[in-house]
Amino acid sequence: MRTRLFAAVAVLTLTTAGMALAAAALPKSKALAIMHERHEGMETIGKNFKALHRELDASSPNLNTIRSSARTIQTLSAKASHWFPQGTGPELGKTGAKPEIWQNPQDFVVKMRDFQAEARAFNAAARSSDLALIRAQSGDLGQACKACHDKYRTEMHH
């Protein structure tokens, strides 16, 4: 019984791929700063994804633009592990992050790891000159984004 009680009050920490969804309360100012960083980071990922699609849909894609966007997405994907601590959900303020992130952290961590792996794979493909490979990896990256967004993101209207 004591073990269960201790487990019930213990801080939940998942450290898979650097992800920490900790139950310890953050100061409001810190939580709001993380939410802002998360929003800006996700917006930047989205803008880079749009730039990729513009290039991949073009008759002569600019590989420098593709490579730059791929690097940015990979860099931000690694930072994203730290954008979802407990206390940075809709209970605090406007966010596209659904409460399900913190209700089902194991699944969220898996989806985050998949996104990060696909971002690394896409960045590696983008460094090549193989447009077929780049397009295929772009699709895989998009599916990783969609898997998480479908379950854990609400549409935000600015």
Instruction: Spell out the domains of the chain, with CATH numbers in brackets.
Output: 17-152 (1.20.120.10)
List, in sequence order, every residue forming a beta bridge with 19; answer none if it has no partner: 16
The confidence score (pLDDT) of residue 137 equals 97
For the cut 70, the answer to whether the pLDDT of residue 24 exceeds it is: no
For the cut 60, the answer to whether the pLDDT of residue 121 exceeds it is: yes
- Angstrom CA distances, 125 to 14, 73, 106, stand at 30, 13, 29
This prediction has a pTM of 0.83
Judged by DSSP in three states, 97 sits in strand
Q: Which two structure tokens, joined as six digits, stand for 115?
A: 């996104």
For the cut 60, the answer to whether the pLDDT of residue 21 exceeds it is: no
- pLDDT tens by residue, 70-96: 999 999 999 999 999 999 999 999 999
pLDDT bin (cut points 50, 70, 90) of residue 156 is low
For the cut 80, the answer to whether the pLDDT of residue 16 exceeds it is: no
At residue 153, φ and ψ (nearest 5 deg) are -130, 135
Q: How far is CA 147 from the centre of its chain?
A: 11
For the cut 80, the answer to whether the pLDDT of residue 10 exceeds it is: no
Average pLDDT, the chain: 87
For the cut 70, the answer to whether the pLDDT of residue 20 exceeds it is: no
